[in-house]
Amino acid sequence: MRIPIISALASGWLTAGVLFAQSSQAPPASASTGRLARDIVGKAAPLTVTSPMFSSGGEIPLKYSDYGEKTSPPLSWTGQPQAAKSFAIIVDDPDAKSPSPYVHWVLFNLPPAMNSVPESVPTDETLVKLGNARQGKTSRGSVGYFGPRPPAGDPAHHYHFQVFAIDTVLDTPAGADRDTLLAALKGHVLAHGEIVGTFKAPAK
Protein backbone atom coordinates (compact mmCIF):
# COMPACT_ATOMS: atom_id res chain seq x y z
CA MET A 1 0.00 0.00 0.00
CA ARG A 2 3.00 2.29 0.48
CA ILE A 3 4.01 2.19 -3.18
CA PRO A 4 0.92 4.01 -4.53
CA ILE A 5 1.23 6.63 -1.78
CA ILE A 6 4.89 7.28 -2.57
CA SER A 7 4.13 7.29 -6.27
CA ALA A 8 1.34 9.80 -5.74
CA LEU A 9 3.57 12.01 -3.63
CA ALA A 10 6.31 11.88 -6.26
CA SER A 11 3.80 12.75 -8.94
CA GLY A 12 2.58 15.68 -6.86
CA TRP A 13 6.10 16.94 -6.31
CA LEU A 14 6.82 16.66 -10.02
CA THR A 15 3.68 18.58 -10.92
CA ALA A 16 4.46 21.27 -8.35
CA GLY A 17 8.01 21.52 -9.69
CA VAL A 18 6.75 22.02 -13.22
CA LEU A 19 4.27 24.66 -12.10
CA PHE A 20 6.97 26.46 -10.10
CA ALA A 21 9.34 26.43 -13.08
CA GLN A 22 6.62 27.85 -15.31
CA SER A 23 5.67 30.56 -12.82
CA SER A 24 9.30 31.60 -12.29
CA GLN A 25 9.94 32.22 -15.96
CA ALA A 26 10.43 35.85 -16.99
CA PRO A 27 7.32 37.49 -18.48
CA PRO A 28 7.26 37.82 -22.25
CA ALA A 29 9.09 40.84 -23.63
CA SER A 30 7.06 43.85 -24.65
CA ALA A 31 6.35 44.23 -28.35
CA SER A 32 8.36 47.45 -28.19
CA THR A 33 11.50 45.82 -26.78
CA GLY A 34 14.58 46.83 -28.75
CA ARG A 35 12.61 49.04 -31.13
CA LEU A 36 12.77 52.80 -31.46
CA ALA A 37 9.51 54.67 -30.99
CA ARG A 38 9.56 55.91 -34.59
CA ASP A 39 9.74 52.34 -35.89
CA ILE A 40 6.75 51.32 -33.82
CA VAL A 41 4.45 54.13 -34.98
CA GLY A 42 5.35 53.42 -38.61
CA LYS A 43 5.82 55.60 -41.66
CA ALA A 44 4.63 59.20 -41.66
CA ALA A 45 5.51 62.53 -43.26
CA PRO A 46 8.96 63.85 -42.30
CA LEU A 47 9.77 66.43 -39.65
CA THR A 48 13.19 68.08 -39.46
CA VAL A 49 14.47 68.14 -35.88
CA THR A 50 17.46 70.22 -34.81
CA SER A 51 19.21 71.48 -31.70
CA PRO A 52 21.53 74.49 -31.41
CA MET A 53 23.60 72.49 -28.92
CA PHE A 54 24.60 69.46 -31.00
CA SER A 55 24.50 68.40 -34.62
CA SER A 56 22.91 65.27 -36.00
CA GLY A 57 25.33 62.48 -35.19
CA GLY A 58 27.35 64.83 -33.01
CA GLU A 59 28.27 64.61 -29.36
CA ILE A 60 25.78 65.79 -26.75
CA PRO A 61 27.46 68.29 -24.39
CA LEU A 62 28.20 67.05 -20.87
CA LYS A 63 25.78 69.65 -19.50
CA TYR A 64 22.80 67.70 -20.85
CA SER A 65 23.89 64.35 -19.41
CA ASP A 66 23.25 62.84 -16.00
CA TYR A 67 26.98 63.27 -15.37
CA GLY A 68 26.61 67.02 -15.87
CA GLU A 69 23.83 69.48 -15.06
CA LYS A 70 21.06 66.93 -15.77
CA THR A 71 19.15 69.45 -17.87
CA SER A 72 17.32 68.87 -21.15
CA PRO A 73 18.67 70.40 -24.38
CA PRO A 74 16.68 72.82 -26.54
CA LEU A 75 15.02 71.29 -29.61
CA SER A 76 13.28 72.72 -32.68
CA TRP A 77 11.35 71.17 -35.55
CA THR A 78 9.96 72.20 -38.92
CA GLY A 79 7.67 70.64 -41.50
CA GLN A 80 4.74 70.03 -39.18
CA PRO A 81 1.38 69.42 -40.94
CA GLN A 82 -1.35 72.04 -40.53
CA ALA A 83 -3.62 69.31 -39.19
CA ALA A 84 -1.37 68.70 -36.18
CA LYS A 85 -3.16 69.19 -32.86
CA SER A 86 -0.23 68.41 -30.58
CA PHE A 87 3.36 67.17 -30.46
CA ALA A 88 5.16 64.48 -28.50
CA ILE A 89 8.83 63.84 -27.82
CA ILE A 90 10.38 60.48 -26.94
CA VAL A 91 14.10 59.99 -26.36
CA ASP A 92 15.40 56.41 -26.74
CA ASP A 93 18.84 54.87 -26.25
CA PRO A 94 18.89 51.62 -28.26
CA ASP A 95 22.50 50.88 -27.24
CA ALA A 96 21.58 50.21 -23.62
CA LYS A 97 21.70 46.53 -22.68
CA SER A 98 18.65 46.49 -20.42
CA PRO A 99 16.03 47.67 -20.83
CA SER A 100 16.35 48.20 -24.55
CA PRO A 101 15.77 50.82 -25.63
CA TYR A 102 16.39 52.81 -22.47
CA VAL A 103 13.83 55.61 -22.36
CA HIS A 104 15.20 59.02 -21.35
CA TRP A 105 12.21 61.29 -21.97
CA VAL A 106 8.48 61.05 -22.55
CA LEU A 107 6.76 64.38 -23.29
CA PHE A 108 3.40 64.85 -25.00
CA ASN A 109 0.47 67.22 -25.63
CA LEU A 110 2.74 70.09 -26.57
CA PRO A 111 0.49 72.72 -28.22
CA PRO A 112 0.28 72.78 -32.03
CA ALA A 113 1.59 76.37 -32.19
CA MET A 114 4.89 75.25 -30.68
CA ASN A 115 7.77 74.25 -32.90
CA SER A 116 10.41 74.04 -30.17
CA VAL A 117 11.07 73.30 -26.52
CA PRO A 118 13.48 75.40 -24.47
CA GLU A 119 16.50 74.26 -22.55
CA SER A 120 15.97 72.90 -19.03
CA VAL A 121 12.35 71.73 -19.18
CA PRO A 122 11.20 71.13 -15.57
CA THR A 123 10.55 67.57 -14.42
CA ASP A 124 6.94 68.28 -13.40
CA GLU A 125 4.25 65.89 -14.63
CA THR A 126 2.26 68.85 -16.05
CA LEU A 127 4.10 71.76 -17.65
CA VAL A 128 1.90 74.82 -17.28
CA LYS A 129 4.33 77.08 -19.17
CA LEU A 130 4.34 74.66 -22.10
CA GLY A 131 0.59 74.69 -22.64
CA ASN A 132 -0.11 72.07 -19.96
CA ALA A 133 1.95 69.48 -21.79
CA ARG A 134 2.42 66.24 -19.86
CA GLN A 135 5.47 64.17 -19.06
CA GLY A 136 5.77 60.44 -18.55
CA LYS A 137 8.17 58.04 -16.93
CA THR A 138 11.68 57.18 -18.06
CA SER A 139 13.16 53.71 -17.75
CA ARG A 140 14.61 54.89 -14.44
CA GLY A 141 11.05 55.36 -13.19
CA SER A 142 11.37 59.13 -12.85
CA VAL A 143 9.20 61.73 -14.60
CA GLY A 144 10.79 64.22 -16.97
CA TYR A 145 14.08 64.30 -18.80
CA PHE A 146 16.81 61.93 -17.63
CA GLY A 147 20.11 62.75 -19.31
CA PRO A 148 22.49 60.26 -20.91
CA ARG A 149 24.35 58.07 -18.43
CA PRO A 150 26.00 55.19 -20.28
CA PRO A 151 28.19 52.90 -18.16
CA ALA A 152 31.86 53.80 -17.92
CA GLY A 153 33.83 51.91 -20.55
CA ASP A 154 30.94 51.60 -23.00
CA PRO A 155 31.38 52.94 -26.53
CA ALA A 156 29.39 56.10 -27.18
CA HIS A 157 25.64 55.49 -27.00
CA HIS A 158 23.21 56.98 -29.53
CA TYR A 159 20.31 59.05 -28.22
CA HIS A 160 17.34 59.43 -30.56
CA PHE A 161 15.38 62.64 -29.86
CA GLN A 162 12.17 61.79 -31.74
CA VAL A 163 9.40 64.33 -32.35
CA PHE A 164 5.87 63.31 -33.40
CA ALA A 165 3.13 65.50 -34.89
CA ILE A 166 -0.24 64.15 -33.76
CA ASP A 167 -3.74 64.70 -35.11
CA THR A 168 -5.32 64.92 -31.65
CA VAL A 169 -4.74 65.94 -28.05
CA LEU A 170 -4.18 62.76 -26.06
CA ASP A 171 -6.09 61.88 -22.90
CA THR A 172 -3.15 59.76 -21.75
CA PRO A 173 -2.44 60.61 -18.09
CA ALA A 174 0.71 62.33 -16.95
CA GLY A 175 3.22 59.85 -15.61
CA ALA A 176 2.47 57.26 -18.29
CA ASP A 177 5.33 55.15 -19.62
CA ARG A 178 6.52 54.95 -23.21
CA ASP A 179 4.50 51.85 -24.10
CA THR A 180 1.29 53.49 -22.89
CA LEU A 181 2.02 56.60 -24.95
CA LEU A 182 2.88 54.56 -28.04
CA ALA A 183 -0.41 52.70 -27.76
CA ALA A 184 -2.22 56.05 -27.63
CA LEU A 185 -0.27 57.33 -30.65
CA LYS A 186 -1.34 54.41 -32.85
CA GLY A 187 -3.15 55.76 -35.90
CA HIS A 188 -2.66 59.40 -34.89
CA VAL A 189 0.90 60.25 -36.02
CA LEU A 190 0.92 62.62 -38.99
CA ALA A 191 4.67 63.20 -39.15
CA HIS A 192 7.83 62.44 -37.24
CA GLY A 193 11.54 63.17 -37.28
CA GLU A 194 14.57 62.91 -35.06
CA ILE A 195 18.01 64.18 -34.22
CA VAL A 196 20.51 61.63 -32.94
CA GLY A 197 23.21 62.68 -30.49
CA THR A 198 26.01 60.57 -29.07
CA PHE A 199 27.44 60.45 -25.57
CA LYS A 200 30.16 58.51 -23.77
CA ALA A 201 30.80 58.48 -20.04
CA PRO A 202 33.50 61.01 -19.17
CA ALA A 203 36.92 59.70 -18.17
CA LYS A 204 37.62 59.90 -14.46
Q: Which residues contact 190 (CB under 8 A, 6 or more apart)?
A: 44, 45, 80, 81, 83, 84, 165, 166, 167
Using a pLDDT cut of 70, give the percent of the chain over it: 84
Which strand (E) or helix (H) includes residue 2?
Answer: helix 2-23
Based on its alpha-carbon atoms, the radius of gyration of the chain, rounded to whole angstroms, reads 22
Q: Print the domain residue range for 58.
A: 34-199
Q: How far is CA 128 from CA 17, 87, 134, in A?
A: 54, 15, 9
CA nearest 181: which of 111, 72, 103, 120?
103
19 in a structural domain: no
70 in a structural domain: yes
The confidence band for 31, taking pLDDT boundaries of 50, 70 and 90, is low
Q: What phi, psi does 185 have (nearest 5°)?
A: -75, -15
pLDDT at res. 18: 36
pLDDT at res. 34: 75
Does residue 178 register a pLDDT over 60?
Answer: yes
103 in a structural domain: yes
Q: What tens digit of pLDDT does each residue of 87-141 get?
A: 999 999 999 998 999 999 999 999 999 999 999 999 999 999 999 999 999 999 9
CATH number of the domain within which 70 lies: 3.90.280.10
Q: How far is CA 161 from CA 25, 51, 197, in A?
A: 34, 10, 8
123 in a structural domain: yes
Does residue 84 register a pLDDT over 60?
Answer: yes
pLDDT at res. 168: 98
Does residue 19 register a pLDDT over 50?
Answer: no
For residues 48 and 193, the answer to whether their CB atoms sit within 8 Å is yes
- Structurally, the chain folds into a number of domains equal to 1
21 in a structural domain: no
Does residue 155 register a pLDDT over 70?
Answer: yes
The count of other CB atoms within 10 Å of the CB of residue 14 is 10
Q: How far is CA 55 from CA 49, 78, 168, in A?
A: 10, 16, 30
Does residue 198 register a pLDDT over 80?
Answer: yes
The confidence band for 32, taking pLDDT boundaries of 50, 70 and 90, is low
pLDDT at res. 72: 98
pLDDT at res. 26: 38
For residues 104 and 93, the answer to whether their CB atoms sit within 8 Å is yes
Does residue 201 register a pLDDT over 80?
Answer: yes
28 in a structural domain: no
